[in-house]
A and B are shown apart, each in its own frame.
Chain A
Amino acid sequence: MKELICSTIERNVVLKCIRDHKRLDLRTIDETRSINIEFRAHPGYVSVTLGQTHVIAQASCRITKPKESRASEGHIRIHLDMSKIPLINLENWKHQEFVQELNGILEQNIRHSNCLDLESLCINSGELVWSIKIDLIVLNNCGNILDCANIATLCSLYHFRLPEVSVHGSEIRVYSSTERRARPLRILHFPINVLFAFFIDGHYTLIDPNSDEERLMDGFFSISMNQHKEICGIHMGGKLGLKKEQVELCKKLAFKKVLELTDRIRQVVTDYYKTIEPITHAQPSIIRIDNDEDEDDDSSSSSESEDPVLIKPEIPLSPIENNVSLLLMPDLDNLSLTDDVSTMIATNVDKLTSDLENDDEHDNE
Chain B
Amino acid sequence: MTETISQINENDTSIFSCLHCKLSPISKATGSATFTLNDSLCTCLLNGPGELRQQQDAINRLQVDITFQARPGNNNTNSTSTKDKLIEQWLETLVRSTVLMEYYPRSQINIVMYEEQNLSGEATILACLCNTLCLTMLDANLPMKYAFAAVPIVQHPTKGLLSLPKTKDELASTSYFVFVFEITLNDILATHASGDFDMKILEQAISIAQPIARQIFQFYRQELEKRLT
Chain A residues within CB distance 8 Å of chain B: 1, 40-42, 44-45, 47, 52, 54, 56, 58-60, 62, 79, 81, 84-86, 133, 135, 137, 139-142, 211, 279-284, 290, 295, 298, 324, 326, 340, 342-343, 345
Contact across chains for A281 and B167 when beta carbons are under 8 A apart: yes
**Is A40 a contact of B116 with CB atoms below 8 Å?**
yes
Set B47, B75, B120, B168: member contacting A343, Cβ < 8 A: B75
Q: Is the CB of A280 within 8 A of B114?
A: no
Q: How far is the CA of A280 from the CA of B120 in the complex (A)?
A: 10
Query: Roughly how many angstroms separate A40 CA and B34 CA in the complex, as a whole number?
Result: 13
On B, residues with C-beta under 8 Å from A are: 14, 17, 25-29, 39, 41, 43, 45, 47, 50, 67, 69, 71-76, 78, 110, 112, 114, 116-117, 119-120, 166-168, 171-172
A60 to B28, CA, bound (A): 29
Contact B120 A281 (CB under 8 A): yes
Query: Does A139 contact B73, Cβ atoms closer than 8 Å?
Result: no
Indicate whether A41 sits within 8 Å of B119 (C-beta atoms), given known contacts A141-B28, A142-B28, A284-B171: yes
A167 to chain B, nearest CB (A): 24
Interchain nearest-CB distance for B83 vs A (Å): 14
- Across the interface, do B116 and A295 meet the contact criterion of CB distance under 8 Å? no
**Which residues of chain A are near B78, meaning CB under 8 Å?**
79, 81
Tell me the bound Cα distance from A173 to B110 in angstroms: 45
Instruction: State whether B117 touches A340 (Cβ < 8 A).
Output: no
- Among A79, A137, A324, contact of B119 (Cβ-Cβ < 8 Å): A324
Interface of A (DSSP majority class): loop
> Which residues of chain A have C-beta atoms less than 8 A from B47's C-beta?
1, 86
Chain B nearest Cβ from A25, distance in angstroms: 13
Q: For residue A44, which residue of chain B has the nearest CB?
A: B73
Bound-state Cα–Cα, A211 to B27, Å: 12
Residue of B nearest to A328 (CB): B74
Contact indicator A295/B74 (Cβ below 8 Å):
no
Residues in chain B near residue A142, CB distance under 8 A: 27-28
Please give, as numbers and ranges, the residues of chain B lying within 8 Å of A345 by CB-CB distance.
Answer: 74
Contact yes or no, B27 A279, CB < 8 A: no
CA gap between A146 and B171 in the complex, in Å: 39
| Minimal beta-carbon separation of A81 from chain B (angstroms) | 7
CB-based contact A281/B171 at 8 Å:
yes
- The minimal Cβ–Cβ distance linking B208 to chain A, given in whole angstroms, is 19
Compute how far the CA of A193 lies from the CA of B117 in the bound complex, rounded to whole angstroms: 28
Contact partner, B116, options A52, A56, A86, A342, Cβ 8 Å: A56
Q: Say whether, besides A42-B117, A140-B27, A298-B168, A60 and B112 are in contact (CB < 8 Å).
A: no
